[in-house]
Chain A
Amino acid sequence: MTPLQILTLVSGCLLCFLVGAFGLLILWKIYVGDIDLSRLISEPTGDASISRFQLLVFTFVIAFSLFLVIVASNPPSLPVIPGTILTLLGISGSSYLVSKGIQFSDPAGVIDRSTGVVISPVKTIVRYGQTQQFTVEVPRKPGSVVKWQVFAGYGTIDDKGLYTAPATAPAGLAAGAQAHATIQVTSSEFPDASDLAVVTLS
């Protein structure tokens, strides 16, 4: 082997290793959540966008198609991309841009959605010894982890938001008076964001 061939081989091995390591790093970071894809097709308002979805689908399809064609040819070579494919991507991209133009012409369309959490129901009556299921919505990150607690008052709540009222009225409660409990839910992703609900025990 000539020194040039050795250099080519070493460079190829290095390049192959770097490309593989880079790809793995990206996939790993997505998998562990360091690269957050949760808003991949979402608008600032939080609603998913069909034009973003279309662009995503066509990007994957064209990328996968090009890959298949490139590796099928021997030796691998860049193929000629037909004008109709470029037109299709142009239609998709233009549609996306125009839809964003329409959306962003309205000030409400560029307002980022709240990082708050919303508990439901906010007020409820629970009989002693009974349970009440609370739900929470985190608009910025649906399905994210939240922490439930009985902020004040009586009863317990588990980590799924199921509140259990005490079996009997608390001692010392005046006749005819009602006991209350305040439920607090806090987002783990956004610790400053919390919401309250009030339970009246009867």
Chain B
Amino acid sequence: MNLLLQALRFEFLGFLVGLAGIVIVQLLTGKIDSRYLLYGTVTGRKVNDGRYFSPERVQLLVFTLGAALYYLTEVMTTARSGMVPEFPQSWLVVMTGSNAIYLGGKTYARWFANNKLK
């Protein structure tokens, strides 16, 4: 039975690492299309005219990767305790704010930017 458990562990680890590896490689090589990840679109304009570099997306990307790395390092150091570590409240506030800024920017580009900037 122990051998079976070990085999299952390796299978799941292999699947997760394999899947993550494929996604990362395909993102880096451009096979997964990540064009305009950091660009927004102002509604009501032609596609190329309405596309703009979006700081709100940059900050969301930075905080997302920061939170992910922070949590992974936490898990690496506490996994042996058998407990899933808490995600700090302060980080939750940061992620809420970051997502709110992103949604605010998207809302502005959708309903208000075209009238103001035209």
Contact = CB atoms under 8 A, between A and B. Distances in A.
Specify whether A and B are partners. Answer: yes
Given A16-B8, A99-B103, A65 B35 contact: no
A45 to B, nearest CB: 8
A23 B15 contact: yes
Interface string B1-42: 100110111011111101110110010001111111111010
Which of A63, A64, A82 is the most central at the interface, judged by chain B CB atoms within 10 Å of its CB?
A: A64
A129 interface: no
A19 interface: yes
B103 A46 contact: no
B40 to A, nearest CB: 9
Contact of A46 (B35, B60, B68, B110): B35
Contact of B71 (A13, A40, A65): A65
Interface in B56-77: 57, 60-61, 64-65, 67-68, 71-72, 75-76
Interface stretch (A70-78, A120-128, A183-191): A70-78
B30 A142 contact: yes
A191 B51 CA distance: 29
Interface magnitude class on chain A? 35 or more
A53 B64 contact: yes
B13 A38 contact: no
A106 B79 contact: no
Contacts of B51: 47
A37 B102 contact: no
Given A16-B11, A41-B34, A42-B33, A69 B82 contact: yes
A39 B92 contact: no
B84 A47 contact: no
Nearest to A13: B4
Contacts of A56: 23
A58 interface: yes
Interface in A22-45: 23, 26-27, 30-31, 37-42, 45
Nearest to A5: B1
A177 interface: no
Contact of B36 (A47, A51, A72): A47
The 4 closest A-B pairs by CB, nearest first: A73-B82, A23-B15, A47-B36, A48-B37
24 contacts: A16-B11, A30-B19, A30-B22, A31-B22, A38-B32, A41-B32, A50-B61, A58-B64, A58-B67, A58-B68, A60-B23, A64-B20, A67-B16, A69-B84, A72-B80, A72-B81, A76-B5, A84-B87, A91-B95, A91-B96, A91-B99, A99-B103, A102-B103, A102-B107
